[in-house]
Chain A
Amino acid sequence: MPYACIFVPDFPVEALLRAEPELRSQAVAVLEGKPPLQKVFAVNEKARRLGIDPGMTKIQVEPCTELVLRPRSPLQETAAHAALLDCAQSFSPRVEDTAPDTVLLDLSGLESLFGSLPEIARDIARRTSDLGLEANVATAFNPDTARFAARGFAGVTVVPEGKEAERLGNLPLEVLFTELISPNPTEEAVRLLETFDLWGVRNLRALCALPEIALSERLGQAGVRLQQFARGAISRTLVPVDPPLIFEEAMELDHPLVLLEPLAFLLAHMLDQVCARLAARALAAQELRLRLELDTGFHFVEDLPNATTHVRTGALGSLQRAESRGPGRAPVRQQNAADIALELTLMHSSKFIRTLQLPVPMLDPKVFLKLLQLDLKAHPPDAPILKVHLSAIPAQPRTIQGGLFLPPTPDPEKLELTLARIAGMVGEDKVGSLHLLDSHRPEAFRMQRFVPTEAEGQKEKPDDVSSAPVTALRMFRPPLRATVTLREGKPAHVVCSKRKEVQGEILWMAGPWRSSGDWWEQDGWARDEWDIAIQTPVVSRRSSVVSNALSLYRLVHDLLSGGWFVEGTYD
């Protein structure tokens, strides 16, 4: 059975370079430890050429001006490891998570899908590169041979079946001791390596040539096992893992970010990575979550006695109200009418979370970036940013079948951006579609997110114009307060101070139509409605001549407050 191994050399450095690809052409060293006792943990090839080795102190390497020093980032290493697993999973469902920098995958049966073994290996290398990692890929007919070949040979390596010993012969003995890669090798490994060095055995070919019994007598089963590894004679079964579908990228910043523009650059790169990982798994994003860790000092929480939490967001932020909830409960989602449902949760005083719910699964980093930019512009964080976490909730990609005779619909990605831009202008709850509520209360409707539904083909004749159009009412929002003169209990004269044309004798009226409801609630309502006609001035089209015309209005008498209002006009 063929296997492939993906190995990322200098993994801590590669994880950093994945987040900062502009450093790829420079010598980079990763430091670990608390200042001032920081030591070099890993270096890339260019730094190695400058004489920088792991274990050197920061003071020792600082004089090297060409060297870029970065602190070790466990967040980025975790993300890089997840990307490595995603890459492997995109080829085979049987993947072994061997080490943070090493992944083994079973290639049996994949030839018919992806071609020959060299082609598969090249494809794996290409996809790993797309995910921002430069890796060595090796294929062989047992897992450990593939692992040693990936560790020993740069680029793509294919080890033919039966020629393992010959192909691995030139590799140094160190490839067998994976523990030596770490800065703290085990004593046993060091002892064995020293023994082989004393015997003059420095590569795998020399190890294979040693007599097995003599080797067993001197080094025990450990020595025999190493020889079998070198010959490619040991085969084992993989321990497959099923990595959870978590697509998260994180970045820790050296200096706090204050402006949104530089944040956009970081987000663009992180979105590219998340989308590449989703694409590798043939998935799309249904929801994006941006979590910013902020510099404390600007952001605080007030606990009010009525168990309602107010989140004060500093000078730039707006006062937003979030429902109170107990510890450990899921965050309450604020339903908005806008296309993007937003959620503001304060899990800790220094965390700021924005959630973008997408109407359909999408996979376009440019659209995501623009949506995040618009959202952050409307709801900026109120303190400098220290860490950025970006995660995507995956979903199956949208599949649509266009119909020749169906009316065109807006492109969802384009529409989403457009609606986000419009929401930035007019407000999030002022854009969307309508949902009528089951109530007789005036203005009983709710704005909801606009998601265009797919056309299903016309079931009724669309241009049926046999019935007369309905007389429409145009609302005045808010209703215009009016002064009404009553004559025999009926409105006779109306004056509206806010709208000069709505005043005069009432020439015709119909009503009152009484309605009331919710009397058991605090916000009960009771009103009398009148339809009235009054004379209004009209400016002529071609000149400024003013003539009179009649207009129909809805006059409302609020029975609870006793006020009169002009609610709208029939048009």
Chain B
Amino acid sequence: MSSSLVRIEAKGRCFPFVAEPKSAALLKQLSRTPKLTGVTAASRLEIRPAPETASCGIAQVDALSGGLPRGCLTEVCGPESSGRTSLLLSALAVATRREEICTLIDASDAFHPHSAAAAGVNLERLLWIRCGVNSPSSLLAHKRRNTTSLEEWERRRREDPVEQALRAADLLLQSNGFGLVAIDLAGVPLKTARCIPLTTWFRFRRAVENTPTVLLVIGEQFCAQSCASLSLQLRDSVLSSRFSVLSEHPSSNGHDSCAEQRPSHTELLSGMEIQAEVLHSRTERKPAQSVSTAFQTKAAWAG
């Protein structure tokens, strides 16, 4: 049976349409419609190729996540002493060894240069931006006596370290040419980090797209949500389990009797056992259940 054209009138406009269409004929017909010229059918959209990945310097995490995706936003979260900064330094060390130019936007001015040097970061290739300090413009505004409330609000907004970090990230991502841009929001209060608009993360994701830059964000909680291509949750497994036992069954004076027997100077912080979990990955199919791995860090003096 040959297909016959019918005319559908909607709001005074006529659209040629096919009655009892075959799919190919329908697509062909639609493609001739002037307004739909250049529109690709959803069924014919190409699958986005998997992004190139870069090693983060920790074999276990690379095996778990496939590495840090380039041109994407990666979020690493965890509480204090969960190994976020260790992972960041490791990623910076590997990137600088690849002779890439890296940037660390430090919202809480917490970066410890000697730790970075011990981790193997080439400091000459690392641009460190320390936020949350008095900028020249804010100093000038301070000196002006007759500032209005709006100017005062604007001054405070500029002095906000998170605001400074986001603006600096915006500028750097527009510059291109960086191998790794890291935003350290780990020391930022949770309330402030949650107030970052989602549009900011969308803008960052868009800016870094189709570039070889790895955008890495570390924090206490996930802020970028669906804008992140990879979300990693970290926690210190061994310390937590070991000390939780201690805290549940403390000795009479709150101290471990065994530990008391040893002088404290014989103890040494040799490292941490970190557990990493992939919570979200755009590059791979969602795992049926939570996938995690563990790795160990070593103290700089542990040899």
Contacts and interface: CB of A to CB of B under 8 A. Distances in A.
B267 A509 contact: yes
A465 B94 contact: yes
A491 to B, nearest CB: 9
B99 A432 contact: no
B111 A465 contact: no
Nearest to B260: A488
Interface string B166-208: 0110011011111100000011001000000000000000000
Interface string B118-145: 1110011111111111111101100100
A475 B132 CA distance: 14
- Interface of chain B, main secondary structure: mixed
B28 to A, nearest CB: 43
Contacts of A378: 136-137
Contacts of B57: 463, 465, 469
A541 B222 contact: yes
A414 B167 CA distance: 16
Contact of A436 (B114, B139, B171, B187): B114
Contacts of B246: 507-508
B50 to A, nearest CB: 18
A76 to B, nearest CB: 33
Interface centre among B85, B172, B268 (most CB of A within 10 A): B85
A35 to B, nearest CB: 39
B83 A425 contact: no
B297 A408 contact: no
B275 interface: no
A539 B221 CA distance: 9
Contact of B135 (A427, A432, A477, A508): A427
Contact of B81 (A422, A490, A552): A552
B94 A549 contact: no
B82 A571 contact: yes
B137 A510 contact: no
A453 B125 contact: yes
Contact of B272 (A426, A450, A552): A552
A536 interface: yes
Contacts of B174: 418
A510 B98 contact: no
Interface residues of B, number: 99
B299 A471 contact: yes
B79 A470 contact: no
A60 B267 CA distance: 97
A510 B268 contact: yes
B247 interface: yes
Nearest to B79: A538
Given A472-B85, A552-B269, A571-B82, A432 B167 contact: no
A470 B101 contact: no
A505 B136 contact: no
Contacts of B62: 465
Interface string A442-471: 000101001011011110101111111111
A471 B300 contact: yes
B209 interface: no
A340 interface: no
A228 interface: no
A330 interface: no
B125 A569 contact: no
A549 B136 contact: no
Contacts of B119: 469-470, 472
Contact of B98 (A415, A462, A513, A569): A462
Nearest to A416: B175
B172 A407 contact: no
A509 B265 CA distance: 8
A422 B171 contact: yes
A525 to B, nearest CB: 16
Given A465-B58, A571-B186, A427 B134 contact: yes
Contacts of B265: 510-513
A539 B190 contact: yes
A508 B267 CA distance: 9
A14 B134 CA distance: 48
B228 interface: no
Contacts of A410: 101, 175-178
A318 interface: yes
Interface centre among A411, A472, A539, A569 (most CB of B within 10 A): A472
A536 B140 contact: no
B267 A468 contact: no
B89 interface: yes
Contacts of A408: 176-177, 179, 212
Interface residues of A, number: 86
Given A469-B87, A471-B299, A571-B86, A531 B175 contact: no
Contacts of A473: 85, 112, 114-115
A396 to B, nearest CB: 23
A468 B62 CA distance: 13
A431 B81 CA distance: 27
B129 A462 contact: no
Interface in A366-383: 377-380
B97 A462 contact: yes
Given A410-B176, A508-B259, A421 B171 contact: yes
A471 B271 contact: yes
A456 B197 CA distance: 40
B194 to A, nearest CB: 11
A424 interface: yes
B83 A571 contact: yes
B155 interface: no
Contact of A552 (B94, B133, B221, B239): B239
Interface in A532-568: 533, 535-536, 538-539, 541, 548-552, 568
Given A407-B100, A433-B123, A462-B98, 16 more contacts: A318-B143, A424-B137, A430-B130, A432-B128, A434-B113, A453-B124, A469-B297, A470-B115, A470-B300, A474-B110, A487-B253, A508-B267, A548-B244, A550-B244, A552-B269, A569-B81
24 contacts: A380-B140, A409-B177, A427-B133, A427-B134, A431-B127, A433-B127, A445-B113, A445-B114, A458-B97, A470-B120, A472-B115, A474-B111, A474-B186, A477-B110, A507-B247, A508-B243, A531-B267, A539-B221, A549-B235, A550-B81, A550-B243, A551-B80, A569-B80, A571-B186
Interface of B: 55, 57-59, 62, 77, 79-90, 94, 97-101, 109-120, 123-137, 139-140, 143, 158, 164, 167-168, 171-172, 174-179, 186-187, 190, 212, 220-222, 233, 235-236, 239-240, 243-244, 246-247, 253-255, 259, 264-265, 267-269, 271-272, 295-300
Interface of A: 315-316, 318, 377-380, 406-411, 414-415, 418-419, 421-422, 424-428, 430-436, 445, 447, 450, 452-453, 455-458, 460, 462-477, 487, 490, 492, 501, 505, 507-513, 530-531, 533, 535-536, 538-539, 541, 548-552, 568-571
